[in-house]
Amino acid sequence: MIPDPFEGAQPVLGDRSLFPDVADVYLGWAAIAPPSLLVRQQVEAFMASYARGGLQGFGQWLPQRARFKERAAALIGAEPIDLALCQSTTQGIIALARSIDWRAGDRVVVFDGEFPANVTPWQRVAADFDLELVSVPLAPFARSHEEGLTTLEAALAPGVRMVAVSAVQFQSGLRMPVPAIAERVHRAGGELFVDAIQALGVGPVDVARGTERAIDYLATGGHKWLGGLEGSGFVYIAPERVEALRPSMAGWLSHEGALDFLLEGSGHLRYDRSVRRQADFLEPGAQSQIGFAALEAGLVPPTVLGPEAIHAHVQVLHDAYEPLFVERGYRSLRATEPAARSAILSFEPPPDHDVVTLQKTLREAGIVAAIPDGMLRLAPHWCNSLDEVPRIERALR
């Protein structure tokens, strides 16, 4: 019997008791999550099972993957059959981009300023399949959603095959208006891919909008806001999009009845089995089963507490952090529109402040923050509390 990390788990907003070894004010959730006790216990149970039985351990934990998919799908309003496990956001994007039936001249729209994981794979397929790659600036979206959408519509006017956008921008924390983007992309005859790694687990993400499909494809890694370990994530594919994909990234586990020759006796080793026409054809071979065991435990807080409650909790923290830095000459990049705010709060340092030195100074005071491309990024989560604010203020002094 494999353990269920959800049984008896009752995380509380602002309570760090699931992280007894984290002595710092940890504001680095947008980079890497420290594993909680729930995650560590699940990993230990997994290792003990494999240590006792090896192959038997594999069989015991195999059903856990299906249970994980059910819970991950519920977070985004999808069905388990629409998910495929992957190692990371990047790996998921590459697998998707390489499986689309491109035609020479297809237009792909990306955004200037995004994390490279959601740009480089599209650059590569554009070069390999003779596609037109168009880059849209993020600055208009930072000024207002309305201005950004007008800019995007101009880029969609000549026609589009794919638009790739991050739900939340890694540097500024800007939350993109994904439903409104989806509406315009679909009206122009295109498809929408969303990189959800900076949004999922700390705010609402829904692949549908009422009865309409908002997101065609989505990928995320699990080692940030979802609280898992590096090397685990998942891909979502809208069911109506699966048939048109090419199985160019298929492997031995992508076939129908792929395990029959290992489990059902003789006469089942064949190479002519069809590739599954569902999202998990992108699971080509052995993956980090321990990583998905850990990630299921990481899903406990966002599932139990709810993404909306976590998002509201984090905004209260941002309200307390923001004036501490603004009073010292830092320019806040926080969106003025509440709908455009995320769990990331970033600042542009004053000209006479070296951000690398600032990060080091904060680290020496026990404050963990990141500095993507010269910005100071604070990224608290559900377990951070207002009790930590005085410590940040002392460090700034």
Neighbours of 89 (CB within 10 A): 27
Token pair in block for residue 267: 């006469």
pLDDT of residue 370: 97
CATH 3.90.1150.10-classified regions of the chain: 305-396
Neighbours of 159 (CB within 10 A): 12
Q: Using CA atoms, how far apart are residues 292 and 68, in angstroms rounded to an integer? A: 7
Q: Using CA atoms, how far apart are residues 166 and 198, in angstroms rounded to an integer? A: 8
Tens of pLDDT along the chain (397 residues) come to: 899 999 998 999 999 999 999 988 999 999 999 999 999 999 999 999 999 989 888 889 989 999 999 999 999 999 999 999 999 999 999 999 999 999 999 999 999 999 999 999 999 999 999 999 999 999 999 999 999 999 999 999 999 999 999 999 999 999 999 999 999 999 999 999 999 999 999 999 999 865 556 899 999 999 999 999 999 999 999 999 999 999 988 899 899 998 888 888 898 899 989 998 999 999 998 889 999 999 999 999 999 999 999 999 999 999 999 999 999 999 999 999 999 999 999 999 999 889 999 999 999 999 999 999 999 999 999 999 999 999 999 998 8
pLDDT of residue 321: 97
pLDDT of residue 249: 85
Parallel/antiparallel/unpaired status of strands 162-166 and 132-137 = unpaired
| Residue 33 near residue 225 (C-beta atoms within 8 A) | yes
For residue 382, give the amino acid letter.
W
DSSP string for 125-155:
HHHHHT-EEEEEESHHHHH-HHHHHHHHHHH
Q: Give long-range contacts, CB 8 A cutoff, 24+ apart: 149-154.
A: 149/177, 149/180, 149/181, 149/184, 152/109, 152/181, 152/184, 153/184
| Residue 149 near residue 339 (C-beta atoms within 8 A) | no
CATH 3.40.640.10-classified regions of the chain: 64-301
Is CATH 3.40.50.300 what the domain over 64-301 is classified as, yes or no?
no
Q: 305-396 in CATH: which number?
A: 3.90.1150.10
